[in-house]
Structure 1
């Protein structure tokens, strides 16, 4: 290397590189920037766009999976039996067969088809007043006189109704639940068939025109199978008599025991004066008409309250003439 001359300026090294080397740093910067931009775009896409997308639909089920439409229909659940009531054992059932129906409880003999909607008005607790009886006779349509025994005018009211050709039945006292002391002549659970027969015979003698018997009160008595069987056995010995179940208890077995004994029977559908008042009685009579029209026949029971008799008088002028008012005996014959 030649010695530097005194006073001469030092040479600058050239910044130029070989061909193509001066562009290398710019290319790297460009590539790095592009890579960063791609990363930013990727993460932005993943963060803002992908969360809003819906999930892909589920794959269809394979043929081996049973769809709801293929599931056999289930039978409706049976109501739980009441406390103390035994549950009937289930009978074997072939696959695919409808569930076996429980055996129907015995019913009274099939009544003849009614000639049209039939309604019977029964007035209970008669025998204490001849004036009440006369007001009922003045209504001008059939009313069944349900007469209690051992009252001041039991025999008088029986005779009045019979002369006016109105139907009479014995309204036999029966023990009610929570009854402090049942009066003499009340039928009670635990009585022997002989006791039952003696009471019924004595009371029917007081109402000689009776065509049937109904229960006065009796929410305790009519639930007793043995007592009601004894009552029906006595009525069976008197073929001219039928039984009207006043239905003072939803658990009454009077209807069932009448069927077992072969005694003709009917059942109360509506209480006319369960709520006291003339307007309430009028509404109940309208309900009785609807029952008769929907089921062919109905029995409505009331009491000789002044407002009930007034409601019957008003109803008689505006009642549905498509419903025929008949006696209980006529209902049993179909009209």
Structure 2
């Protein structure tokens, strides 16, 4: 009897927390169709490219509607693909690099965090990733590593400065066919249940928006909670605790 009472007390004091899913829609800012992301629940996080024709407007509308806004910061890729405005390269010295980051952050209002656009080359470079984290520390921003290379050093540098950080675990829409989206969505559900949380990156493709509109309700049916990305940050890191210093790859 005492054992049963003790177990009941433990459950009351420390109730089981529902597994959580954060979905980041990035690559926002160039197309008028990107505004379709505003039809999704405000628990979806929107990551906006800097210096884009529609980025500032969409970010402001989204913030007014309760969405969390991130900066989708372009970084140099191994394949030499052009980064677009605000892109960071390994040819920049520290001053130019940090000024480029600052300008990108200034171009999008209400930014809470940053994730990398492309970056399979630059995220492997410890010095440049340290410059990035130093810039984010000044802005109290968190970082999500899109993991476009398995050799990324972004998380390591974030830990050294105590920057709140997460990493992408699943890309939802490398293939936008219905069957492929369903396979990835099933993986989201499975991984969230297995690990307690999962960070997903998707894009504002019409097929992706339509799929999410139809299927996001299944998360709750599976006992999962859709949350803003910052809600997955380790609590003590999010509180800037000074004691803490520390699938498939989408290559770009």
Q: Output the TM-score relative to the length of structure 2.
A: 0.82
Q: Which residue of 1 aligns with 2:49?
A: 148
For residues 317 and 229 of structure 1, what CA distance do their matches in structure 2 show? Answer: 39
For residues 211 and 223 of structure 1, what CA distance do their matches in structure 2 show? Answer: 24
Q: Which residue of 2 aligns with 1:138?
A: 39
2:133/2:157 contact within 8 Å kept: yes
Deviation at 1:119, TM superposition (A): 0.5
For residues 83 and 218 of structure 2, what CA distance do their matches in structure 1 show? Answer: 41
Q: Which residue of 1 aligns with 2:19?
A: 117
> Higher strand share goes to which structure?
2
2:50/2:85 contact within 8 Å kept: no
State the SS of the aligned residue for 2:71.
strand
Q: Output the TM-score relative to the length of structure 1.
A: 0.62
Indicate which of 80, 88, 101 corresponds to 1:200.
Answer: 101
Decide whether aligned partners of structure 1 residues 118 and 229 sit closer, same or farther in structure 2, where only a CA change above 3 A counts. Answer: same
Q: Deviations over 1:145-203 (max 9, x none)?
A: 11001211011111111011001000000000021554452111242221121011111
Which structure 2 residues correspond to residues 281-320 of structure 1 after superposition, within 5 A?
281-320=181-220
Q: Which residue of 2 aligns with 1:62?
A: none
Which structure 2 residues correspond to residues 150-169 of structure 1 after superposition, within 5 A?
150-169=51-70
Indicate which of 174, 177, 198 corresponds to 2:78.
Answer: 177
Q: Which residue of 1 aligns with 2:244?
A: none
Deviation at 1:289, TM superposition (A): 1.7
Structure number with greater CO (CA < 8 Å, separation at least 6) is: 2
For residues 18 and 81 of structure 2, what CA distance do their matches in structure 1 show? Answer: 44
Deviation at 1:330, TM superposition (A): 1.1
Q: Which residue of 1 aligns with 2:164?
A: 264
Which structure 2 residues correspond to residues 1-335 of structure 1 after superposition, within 5 A?
115-133=17-35, 135-179=36-80, 181-239=82-140, 241-321=141-221, 322-332=223-233
Decide whether aligned partners of structure 1 residues 162 and 309 sit closer, same or farther in structure 2, where only a CA change above 3 A counts. Answer: same
1:279/1:311 contact within 8 Å kept: no
Decide whether aligned partners of structure 1 residues 237 and 320 sit closer, same or farther in structure 2, where only a CA change above 3 A counts. Answer: same
> Higher helix share goes to which structure?
2
Deviation at 1:286, TM superposition (A): 1.8
1:273/1:308 contact within 8 Å kept: yes
Decide whether aligned partners of structure 1 residues 182 and 216 sit closer, same or farther in structure 2, where only a CA change above 3 A counts. Answer: closer
Identify unmatched segments of 5+ residues in structure 1: 1-113
2:129/2:154 contact within 8 Å kept: yes
State the SS of the aligned residue for 1:231.
helix
Q: Whose radius of gyration is greater, 1 or 2?
A: 1
